[in-house]
Amino acid sequence: MSSSPLQILADDPLAFLLLAAALIGAIALHEYAHALAADLQGDRMPRAMGRLTLNPARHLDPMGTVLIFLAGFGWGKPVEFRLQALSSKRFGAAIVALAGPLMNVLLATAAVILLRVFFADYFFHGFLVRPAGTLLHFLILFLRINLLLGIFNLLPIPPLDGSRLLTIFLP
C-alpha cells in the first residue's frame, strides 16, 4: 500500500472501503484477543470494561483511528488488565501480549486459506500472481494488514506487545 488512505479514497472509493474494513477488523480482533486472553486467565477487568466483545467500536481509539486514515499509521485502544489477577504470575502478561499478534497471524492464515480455496487459479507455486475482483482485493489487503500488525506488534518497544514479552526474561 504505497498510497496514503486519503489518496486511495480519492482514487478508488471501493478500495478505501475495503482498506477501512480490513484495518478496523484486524485491529478490533487483535484487541479482542488480548481481552479474551486476560479473561481466560482469570482477570475480569476487560469483561467489566466491555472489551470482551467483537464490536469494533469498543476496540478503536478515536485519535488512533483518525490517524490511520489521515497519516496511514495509528493504533487501537489498548486492553487494560491486572497482572496480579492473572493465573500465571510469570507468564501471564506475555500470554496476554502474544494473544493479539497470534490473532493477526491466525487471521492472515485464514485469508490465505480463503485465497487458496476461492482463487487457486491465481496462485503459482504459493505466490499470488494477479489480483482481480472485490473479494480477492479484500483478502489480499486483510492478509497484508494482519501480517504487518502481527509482526510490528512483536517489536520489543513499549507500548507494543513485544515489550511485554520481556517480562518472561526480566524480573
Q: Which of 4, 168, 158 is nearest to 73 (CA)?
A: 4
| Residue among 18, 28, 31, 79 flagged as catalytic | 31
Instruction: Tell me if the bond preceding 159 is cis, omega within 30° of 0.
Output: yes
Is-catalytic flag, 31? yes
* 147, 112 contact by CB (below 8 A): no
Using alpha carbons only, give the angle 20, 22, 25 rounded to the nearest 5 degrees. 100
Any idea which residues carry the catalytic annotation?
Answer: 31
